[in-house]
């Protein structure tokens, strides 16, 4: 068998994040499934190398996924975190961040404000950020 195997640190949690990504950011989901996963299987580790562990023989990467500019400013960049075990030929998919808004979107339907998803827990804070960013862009 050629290439690397994709596995999960916590499959249930990862699948929830993946489904929320599919629902709220289809472009990132498509890139992830049709470009990035095949690259990882072929041994092309894309993204930023965050750390190396010589003893365990692992490398940890962060891969920025495409997202709306306003969403990135309000909630942060969407990133895939994964760990590569080169000897075992395994890529462990760790998480997708920002996990808090994605998990909240998985549990209940999120509302939008001026085209950006807002958290139910921090709705006022998110709306303030969006208004502030809009004011700064209009100057």
Q: Give the 3-state secondary structure of residue 116.
A: strand
Q: Give the DSSP letter of residue 66.
A: P
With tokens 């990504």, the residue in question is: 21
pLDDT number for residue 33: 93
**Which regions of the chain are under pLDDT 70?**
1, 103, 105-108, 139
Give CB contacts under 8 A, 24+ apart, made by 32-35: 32/65, 32/80
Dump pLDDT digits (tens) for 34-57.
999 999 999 999 999 999 999 888
Is this model's pTM higher than 0.85 or not? no
What gap in Å lies between CA 55 and CA 7, rounded to an integer?
21
């Amino acid at each position: 068998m050629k290439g690397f195997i994709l596995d999960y640190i916590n499959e249930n949690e990862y699948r929830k994040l993946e489904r929320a990504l599919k629902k709220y950011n289809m472009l990132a989901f498509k890139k992830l499934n049709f470009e990035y996963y095949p690259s990882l299987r072929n041994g092309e580790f894309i993204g930023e190398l965050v750390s190396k562990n010589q003893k365990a023989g692992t490398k940890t990467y962060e891969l920025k996924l495409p997202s709306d500019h306003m969403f990135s400013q309000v909630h942060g960049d969407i990133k895939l975190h994964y760990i590569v075990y080169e000897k075992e030929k395994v890529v462990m998919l760790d998480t997708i961040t920002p996990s808090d808004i994605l998990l909240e979107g998985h549990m209940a339907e999120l509302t939008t404000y001026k085209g950006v998803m807002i958290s139910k827990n921090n709705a006022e804070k998110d709306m303030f950020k969006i208004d502030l960013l809009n004011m700064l862009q209009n100057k």
